[in-house]
Amino acid sequence: MNKKIIYYILSNLFKILIFLFLFPLGISFYYGEGLRLYISFIAPMLILGILTYKFSRENPEDHSFFSKEGLVIVSLSWLLISFFGAMPLYLSGNIDSFISAFFESVSGFTTTGATIVSDIEAMHKSIIFWRSFTHLVGGMGVLVLVLAILPKGNNKALYIMRAEVPGPSVGKLVAKMSYNSRILYIIYLTITAILIILLMLGGMSFFDSCIHAFGTAGTGGFSSKNSSIAFYNSSYIHYVLGFGMLAFGLNFNLFYLLILGNIKQVLKSEETKYYLFFVFSSVTLICFNIYKTYDSFLKMVRDVFFTVSSIMTTTGFSTVDFGQWPLFSQIILLLLMFIGGCAGSTAGGFKVARVVIVLKKIAKEFKKIGHPNKIINLKLDDKTVDKDMSEGVNTYFLLYVSVFLLLVLIVSLESNSFLTAFSAVAATFNNIGPGLDAVGPSYNFTNYSALMKLVLSMSMLLGRLEIIPMLILISPKIYKDID
């Protein structure tokens, strides 16, 4: 394994992280928050500066790398950014233990939105900003940002994209991966800027508009208010964020196709059709289930649409305590937690593309019962799903279920009910945020021990990176070939 290329990528990552810390530091100076807050951002910047100097001395002559290096780079990067991202939360005194700060940082970067903070409004402005800013950075992927600015982009960088961008496959928009990453980030930041403007038009302050736009763009869900979006009793804001979450739950390649005017190909996307079908059918079923509990039909539709959008895209914003809804509605939401958004989006979950492939494989087996000798090709968007992708979905499904059940077993040691343990893992592993029962939207994860917070932090990282990169990192075999 080429350790020099790993150091080279990490040194570029550290440079970006130093730059990113300047934003909350500037806000801290703007609000005059005091020396302790300034130091809480400057200290990690200095450490990162030293590490950057040390790692940049290992600049490799050969910039090419392969799948093994890509997986190690991705898993190491996410652990390191979560560690350094936790430092301001802890050093500022806003969170009283480093493990809790690490949990919060992992939750931010993985765009999970699970929190241990009970009183968000009591936190310093710069810390509130940093929590949500991590959503914006982690949504598209911090290493996609690194690839976008690397002076020497090469197609081997696809190994990093495949490991970091969630979904069963990653396609290239253009030939060079550095250009590919830049296109994705330009689209991502442009839609985020539009969302900020729309929220300001609805009466939000510029600061709060940024916070909630970051949470929507990264489908993370951190808010600047204790009651989340319920604080804003505005149909306009709820619908803007509801449709915003759905937009960021789509495959970003579709936006590029729209820019090129290739509407026909966008409309052919089966994954998008299934995605919208799951949303529409869930909203309809839940409305039928809870209509007796509402006096206003329009308010019911608004609350249900917002909640379904939030859960389906694994954002985690809330306007109502859906833990108080009937069991039927809660089960629908629980299913949506597992489905998640589209491949190549900022959303978590199993991914709609994989669900579609699994459903088609089941339908294929039923068709073969009557015609056992008939050859039936599995197709997605009128293209045959190759054997590698089909087997990859099977492998990931088995890994997904196995790791999920193991995590539920561990978390059950400190949970007061099966629903709490199950939904706590579902909420973290699928990068959603709030679960049900004792970890529902009206509660948080603060009652878990330091050890369990570490377990749930790993659950978030495993879910965000889709398991394999994190498992590779702890495999002894991977280090035997280090140069």
Cross-strand partners of 379 = 384
* CA–CA distance, 254 with 344 (Å, rounded to integer): 10
pTM, rounded to two decimals = 0.89
pLDDT recorded at residue 153: 46
pLDDT recorded at residue 170: 44
Q: Which amino acid is at 397?
A: F
Which tokens in the block code for residue 35?
């020396």
What is the mean pLDDT, run by run of 10 residues, along the chain of 483 residues? 77 91 97 96 96 76 65 86 96 95 95 91 96 91 60 49 53 51 84 96 95 94 91 94 94 84 84 94 96 93 96 90 90 91 85 88 79 73 75 85 95 92 92 84 87 95 84 68 53
pLDDT recorded at residue 160: 54
pLDDT recorded at residue 422: 93
* CA–CA distance, 191 with 211 (Å, rounded to integer): 14
3-state secondary structure the chain: CCHHHHHHHHHHHHHHHHHHHHHHHHHHHHCCCCHHHHHHHHHHHHHHHHHHHHHHCCCCCCCCCCHHHHHHHHHHHHHHHHHHHHHHHHHCCCCCCHHHHHHHHHHHHCCCCCCCCCCHHHCCHHHHHHHHHHHHHHHHCHHHHHHHHCCCCCHHHHHHHHHHCCCCCCCCCCCCHHHHHHHHHHHHHHHHHHHHHHHHHCCCCHHHHHHHHHHHHCCCCCCCCCCHHHHCCCHHHHHHHHHHHHHHCCCHHHHHHHHCCCHHHHHCCHHHHHHHHHHHHHHHHHHHHHHHHCCCHHHHHHHHHHHHHHHHCCCCCCCCCHHHCCHHHHHHHHHHHHHCCCCCCCCCCCCHHHHHHHHHHHHHHHHHHHCCCCCCCCEECCEECCHHHHHHHHHHHHHHHHHHHHHHHHHHHHCCCHHHHHHHHHHHHCCCCCCCHHHCCCCCCCCCCHHHHHHHHHHHHHHHCCCHHHHHHCCHHHHCCCC
CA-atom Rg of the chain in angstroms: 22
